[in-house]
Amino acid sequence: MVADSRGASAQKPAGASFPGVPLGRPLPRSFFDRPCLEVASELLGARLVRRLPDGTRLVGRLVEVEAYLGEGRDPASHAHRGPTRRNRSMFGPPGRLYAYRSYGIHVCINFVCEPRGFGAAILLRAAEPLEGVERMRQHRGLPTGASNFQVARGPGRLGQAFGFELDWDGSSHLRGPVTVHRPEPTDRPAVARGPRVGIRRGTALDYRFYVPESPWVGRPPPR
* pLDDT interval class at 4 (50, 70, 90): very low
- Contact in structure between 139 and 129 (CB atoms under 8 Å): no
pLDDT digits (tens, 9 = 90+) for 96-144: 999 999 877 899 999 999 999 999 999 999 999 999 999 999 999 999 8
pLDDT > 60? residue 3: no
Among 6, 131, 120, 119, CA closest to 66: 120
State the burial class of residue 198 (Cβ atoms within 10 Å of its Cβ: 0-12, 13-18, 19+). middle
User: How much is the pTM?
Assistant: 0.87
Judge whether 216 and 128 are in contact, CB under 8 Å. yes
**Of 132, 162, 95, 131, nearest in space to 22 by CA:** 131
Single-letter residue type at 49: V
pLDDT tens, 35-57? 999 999 999 999 999 999 998 99
pLDDT tens column, 68-103:
998 888 999 999 988 898 899 999 899 999 999 987
Confidence of residue 19 (pLDDT cuts 50, 70, 90): low
